Amino acid sequence: MNSHRTYRFFVAAVVAAVLPATAAADDGGDKPHRELARYESRVEEAIDRGLEYLAGQQNEDGSWPAPHTHMQRNTGIVSLCVMAFLASGYTPGTGPYGDVIDRGIDFILDNAEENGMLIGTETSQRTMYSHSISTLMLTEVSGMVIDRRRQQRIDEVLPKAIGLLLSAQQVQKPDGHQGGWRYQTNSTDSDITVSGWAMMALRSARINGAPVPAESIEQAVRFVLNCRHPSGGFVYMPGSPGGPGLARTGTGLLCLKMGGRHGDEACAAAGDWILQNLPDAFRGLWFYYGIYHCSQGMFQLGGDYWVQWAERMYDLMLPNQRDDGSWPTGMGGEQWAGPNYTTAMAVLSLSVPLRQLPIYQR
């Protein structure tokens, strides 16, 4: 077992046990650690095996392969893979995965367009997914890389990427859609899934010192609230027919927490909706996407919300990891993305308690 990661889990446990009273109310004190302790060694091993698999799958150019044509050399998948290493405590240029991380960063930088778009040669029409995820990754590694030239390249690319998100948010849209994002920079409507990634990227950039207006984050939060369903869950876009979904509700919850709405009734209502609709089977439609966002959001809520969610997540995820360290390909659109995507999303979900990615720290 990796001693580096054992240390990280130990630190997380100690922090949970010594939190001041105000923080303990949100975290549930050390109760989450007590109730989830039986999973700890299995989670550590699963993360290690998942990262070993991802490291072995990386192409020479820093990308990761995908089975479907329009997912080949996909900057979004590359950035998720890089963030899986970061979320587990590994950093650029150092340790066993330093070169893997550096190659992934370089792939994103090599595929930056003049206007700041981070999509490279991929053929997907849903470009703002990849751009937003890649912008988020670069904001997380900026200031962390060792090589000065690599940081200089990030300093050149990242402001353009952030600026593109800000300008896309200001496109005139119908009532209820303003403040969000969709597939293209000039889209005239918004959906909660693309908007979640875009908002995380801007929030991370602001934390890292970039000149992102607070009003931009607030506009995004207002859009997310427009997607709220009376049941407490969240729908795809304002006025969408049908009920909420697990992935969309996890995204809504995470956006509200990252947007500073910590005491908002909508957060607890979203957490309650998730607990009432826990996934009961592995690998359903958009399973990994939902697991990722719900894990991040429920960890932010803490206490029994996190315990109940984590128990279900671990019971679904741990037995289904394959012998080579990967997780099976998903369903629907996740099938196109392949096992590198699913493994990155699984590792990102399992590594939440490590609190290594700055954007997702409590």
Higher pLDDT, 7 or 245: 245
Q: What's the rounded mean pLDDT across residues 352-356? A: 89
Give 235: exposed, middle or buried? Use CB within 10 Å, 0-12, 13-18, 19+.
Answer: buried
Whether 192 and 160 share a structural domain: yes
Q: Please tell me whether residues 96 and 217 are part of one structural domain.
A: yes
- Say if residue 117 is in the same domain as residue 193: yes
Q: How many domains does the chain have?
A: 2
Does 99 lie in the same domain as 135? yes
Question: Residue 167 is part of a domain; what is its CATH number?
Answer: 1.50.10.20
Which of 44-58, 123-137, 265-279 has the least mean pLDDT?
Answer: 123-137
Token output for 342: 């699913």
Tell me the pLDDT of the chain averaged across its residues.
89
13-22, 27-36, 93-102, 194-203: segment of lowest average pLDDT = 13-22
Burial classification of residue 202, based on how many CB atoms lie within 10 Å of its CB (0-12 exposed, 13-18 middle, 19 or more buried): buried
Residues 81 and 179 in one domain: yes
Residue 249 forms part of a structural domain = no
**Confidence band for 122, pLDDT divided at 50, 70 and 90:** low
Q: What is the pLDDT of residue 29?
A: 45
| Dihedral pair phi/psi, residue 54, rounded to 5° | -60, -40
Q: What CA dihedral angle connects 286, 77, 44 and 252, to 10 degrees?
A: -50
Kindly indicate the confidence band of residue 259, based on its pLDDT and cuts at 50, 70 and 90: very high
Query: Does 31 lie in the same domain as 91?
Result: no
What does the pLDDT read at residue 251?
Answer: 98
Range of the domain at 41: 1-57+278-362
Q: Is the confidence at residue 26, as pLDDT, over 60?
A: no
Q: Does residue 294 share a domain with residue 348? A: yes
Q: Do 351 and 318 fall into the same domain?
A: yes
**270 located within any domain:** no
Q: What is the 3-state secondary structure (H, E, C) of 185-213?
A: CCCCCCEHHHHHHHHHHHHHHHHCCCCCC
Cα distances (Å, whole numbers) of residue 354 to 4, 47, 196, 314: 11, 11, 22, 15
Q: What is the pLDDT of residues 141-179, one digit of tens each?
A: 999 999 999 999 999 999 999 999 999 999 999 999 999
Q: pLDDT value at position 356?
A: 86
> What pLDDT band is residue 89 in, cutting at 50, 70 and 90?
very high
pLDDT above 90: percentage of residues in the chain: 78
Examine residue 28 and state whether it is found in any structural domain, yes or no: yes
- Report pTM: 0.91
Are 163 and 311 in a shared domain?
no
pLDDT band at residue 33 under the 50/70/90 scheme: low
pLDDT at 18 over 50: no
Q: Note whether 94 and 188 are same-domain residues.
A: yes
Residue 203 domain flag: yes
Q: Is residue 250 part of a domain?
A: no
315: Cβ contacts below 8 Å, ≥ 6 apart: none
Angle at 94 between CA 292 and CA 117, to 5 degrees: 55
Instruction: State the average pLDDT over residues 203-227.
Output: 96
In a domain, 148, yes or no: yes
The beta-strand segments (E) located in the chain are none
User: How does residue 28 score in pLDDT terms, banded at 50, 70 and 90?
Assistant: very low
175 DSSP 8-state letter:
T
pLDDT(25) > 70:
no
**Same domain for 7 and 71?**
no
Tokens of 16: 């949970």
Q: Is residue 122 part of a domain?
A: yes
Q: pLDDT, tens digit, for every residue of 218-235?
A: 999 999 999 999 999 999
Choose the final residue of a domain: 202, 226, 250.
226
pLDDT at residue 32, as a whole number: 56
Q: Taking residues 34-49, what's their average pLDDT? A: 94
What integer pLDDT is reported at residue 85 of this predicted model?
A: 98
**Are residues 128 and 198 located together in one domain of the fold?**
yes
